[in-house]
């Protein structure tokens, strides 16, 4: 996840948010993030720690 006004250029800009066992996930942002874009690139990790391909970048405006 990356939050801010500058577009995501590289995956190295992302920060790890969480590992979850369900396909639906909710991220909570600080109040200062309101009206800013949030960039997310999820991917699957199996029980052996092997990672899948990165998803397309999902961008959404964070609600105020």
Q: pLDDT tens, 6-48?
A: 788 788 888 888 877 777 777 788 888 888 888 888 888 888 9
Overall number of domains in the chain: 1
pLDDT value for 53: 93
Q: pLDDT tens, 41-55?
A: 888 888 898 999 988
> Is the per-residue pLDDT at 60 higher than 80?
yes
62 — phi, psi (to 5°)? -75, 130
Taking the chain, what is the end-to-end CA distance rounded to the nearest angstrom? 18
Would you say 14 and 39 are in contact if contact means Cβ atoms under 8 Å apart? yes
pLDDT value for 40: 86
Domain that holds residue 22: 1-64
pLDDT value for 50: 92
């Amino acid at each position: 996840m990356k939050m801010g006004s500058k577009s995501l250029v590289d995956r190295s800009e992302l920060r790890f948010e969480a590992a979850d066992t369900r396909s639906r996930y909710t991220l909570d942002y600080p109040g200062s993030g309101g009206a800013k874009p949030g960039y997310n690139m999820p991917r699957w990790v199996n029980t052996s720690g092997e990672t899948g391909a990165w998803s397309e970048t999902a961008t959404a405006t964070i609600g105020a």
